[in-house]
Every structure is written in C-alpha cells, then in structure tokens.
Structure 1
C-alpha cells in the first residue's frame, strides 16, 4: 500500500505476493483454493497472476 494514497500505480497488479496476507486470502477466495496453498503455488510457478490462476485451476481439477 502506498504511503501517499493519491499516488497509486498498478504496475504490479499482474503479480501475486506471498508476503501480503490480504492478497493471499483474496487470491484464494477468487480461485477457490486454500490460502495455505497459495505460497506453494507462487514458489512452484512464479508470481505472474496469469500463471497462478492456471495453476490454481489445475489444483482444483486434481482435488
């Protein structure tokens, strides 16, 4: 979150972060996976959101 709220940019919106609990929970809810699985997905496929969504989809199909 930016210190100056009027100066926001969205350069990293296509990236996921395992360090931000809110972002992990939000991604988990959006993609119907357990929040504990999200950091493992990020380690496995990287932090590109497009790849994470695909990996979450594959994870759901295997379960």
Structure 2
C-alpha cells in the first residue's frame, strides 16, 4: 500500500529547538548548524521542504 500523504505526524518536521535534530540534519547534508537554522527560519520545519532546500544549498 502506498503512503498516504494526507496523514502526517511529527516525523515530517525538523524541530529547530532540538540541538541533536539540527545537528543530525546539518551533518546529513554537509551544512553548518547556522545554515540549518536559517533554512528553518526561512522555510519552516517541514522536512520535505527543508531537505529539498538543503540539497540545493549543498550544490552551490
């Protein structure tokens, strides 16, 4: 069965206030913690959006 995109939970978010989550996200995409915080501030904490923007930032 395919994933139901209308059913989302906390795992679809990157909590900006939790250091380990921000650190993990930064290391996953080769970014600094301030860069990740800037992405969260600019785009919100939706994981799919942040991953897309992090990949684009990493390719620059």
**TM-score interval for Structure 1 and Structure 2 normalised by the shorter chain:** 0.7 to 0.9
TM-score using structure 1 length = 0.75
Q: Runs of 5+ in structure 1 lacking a partner?
A: 1-10
Report the number of matched residues.
52
Shift >4 Å, 4+ stretches: none
Q: Deviations over 1:13-59 (max 9, x none)?
A: 11011100010001111111111211100111111000000111111
Residue equivalent to 2:49:
51
Counterpart selection for 1:40 from 25, 38, 41: 38
- Bigger proportion of residues as helix: 2
RMSD of aligned Cα (Å): 0.9
TM-score using structure 2 length = 0.78
